[in-house]
Amino acid sequence: MGEQARDTLDIVVIGAGAAGLFASIWAGRTLREAGDQASSVVALDGAKKLGAKILVAGGGRCNVTHHAVDERQYAGTSLPAIRNVLRRFDVARTVAFFAELGVELKREETGKLFPVTDDAHTVLDALFAAAGDVGAALIHPWRVGRIERRDNGLFEVHGEVSAMGEEPPSVTAPSRAPFVARRIVLATGGRALPLTGSNGQGYTIAKALGHTVTERVFPALVPLTLARDHWICSLSGITLAATLEVRSSTGKRLKQFTNSTLCAHFGLSGPGVLDISRYYTDAVRDDARAHLVMSWLPRETLESVDGALARLGRSSAARWLQVAGLPERVARALCESAGVDPLAPGHALTRESRRALASMVVQTPLPITGDRGFTYAEVTAGGVPLSEIHLDTMESRVCPGLHLCGEILDVDGRIGGFNFQWAWASGFVAGTAAAKLLKISSDSR
């Protein structure tokens, strides 16, 4: 291809999303703190505009983290391994880090932390400035097609020619020439929101360097679909607090969340549904008869609803459901789907119809037809297993000199800032360790 070599770079970060920016900043800081002004940190990203996910996060306000982060809010290779990484850069450090950059965070009632400006640009601009302060260069659009590790331990980073854009004037080598790097931080994200550039190519790159990827890679924090003629779809636009529960084919409760749930024309969305989605998808793949049920009145039980209906007298079931807090449309739809006349007086209800309605209220079966896919997912379940990573450095166990962080790894968190906290913590560990290990190897040369 007539490719011309460039000067060898010290640390090349692939992907300048949340994890890659953090890794770049902390690699640069660590080098500066060691008095090293000469070593280079360069982040390459295929996107024309950087930080798309940071800007869309939290409805444009960027839910930076959560006040109470622990490994139980995550799923992935192993919770102890996730804890191990999270504790190296905890919420207090995240808050202090952003405060130092002039980004004050506020905690909302839900425990989520947002910038006081309510504007995600504040977060992204601060990260860019922090990268600039330590001399980390952000080159984009420069999409990486493949990485090769030479026998001498250096990495060749080849661009994906079809996706190559203009390089900034500071980069003088021809745009198609591969970069050569002593250390790589792979932070290409997963497959969620592929238009942003995170389309899973990082998995191919990681596999070519000796890694595996979990057998299952699927959308998480994703809306779920029902058949378009399902009665819940006709409630489109209604939001309420509901309990969603994944049950095995034997009826065992596998996972449960109570949170705001949105009825939509395609099925169900909202935080509760997004949280449960990955557990439902995973369960169904293990057990085809696993299923999802929903309680429209989380504080009630089968017995309490049945008892209340039995005591209705001349009042109707629909009226009671409304008094219990449900919108009129929902009350009517629940009665109708249970085969109960919404306006019939309570004393006219048979025992069977009371039981049928009580069951519909606290355990509506949800015949999920699928999910809305990666385009609507906030995060990816699955990825490179943490068992292939040294957790104290995020360095690969199979490819020395390669570090991985962020969503490319088999870790996904609940809604509420947990996924960014994973990106910050793993990016911090990868960046600082890449710089320290670089120093150790260059000092011994």
Ligand X SMILES: Cc1cc2nc3c(=O)[nH]c(=O)nc-3n(C[C@H](O)[C@H](O)[C@H](O)COP(=O)(O)OP(=O)(O)OC[C@H]3O[C@@H](n4cnc5c(N)ncnc54)[C@H](O)[C@@H]3O)c2cc1C
Burial 193-220 (b: 16+ CB within 10 A, else e): bbebbbbbbbbebbeebebebbeebbbb
Tell me whether residue 140 or residue 332 sits nearer to ligand X (CB atom). Answer: 140
Residues 6+ apart with CB under 8 A from 148: 155, 156, 158, 208
With respect to ligand X, which residue has the nearer C-beta, 306 or 410? Answer: 410
Interatomic CA distance for residues 413 and 421, integer angstroms: 9
C-beta of 406: minimal distance to ligand X in Å? 2
Nearer to ligand X by Cβ, of 320 and 424: the residue is: 424
Q: How far apart are CA 393 and CA 428, in angstroms?
A: 9
Shortest distance (Å) from residue 371 CB to ligand X? 14
Q: By the criterion CB under 6 A, which residues form the site for ligand X?
A: 14-20, 44-47, 53, 56-58, 63, 143-144, 187-189, 192-193, 196-198, 201-202, 378-379, 406-407, 417-420, 423
Query: Rounded to the nearest whole angstrom, what is the least distance from the CB of residue 165 to ligand X in the complex?
Result: 11
Q: Which is nearer to ligand X, 92 or 288 (CB)?
A: 92
Tokens 């950059």, residue located? 101
Least Cβ distance, residue 197 to ligand X (angstroms): 2
**Whole-number Å distance between alpha carbons of 95 and 294:** 36
Whether the CB-CB separation of 239 and 330 falls below 8 Å is answered with: no
Residue closer to ligand X by CB (options 59, 365) is: 59
Q: 196 or 316, CB closer to ligand X? A: 196
Q: How far is the CB of 184 from ligand X (least distance, A)?
A: 12
Residue nearest to ligand X (CB): 17
Shortest Å distance, C-beta 196 to ligand X: 6
Nearest distance in Å: CB 73, ligand X:
11
The token pair at 403 is 């570090």
User: Which of 361, 405 has the CB closer to ligand X?
Assistant: 405
Smallest separation, CB 47 to ligand X (Å) = 4
Measured CA to CA in angstroms, residue 29 lies from 123, 137, 199, 279, 434 at distances of: 18, 13, 30, 39, 11
Beta carbon nearer to ligand X, 296 or 418? 418
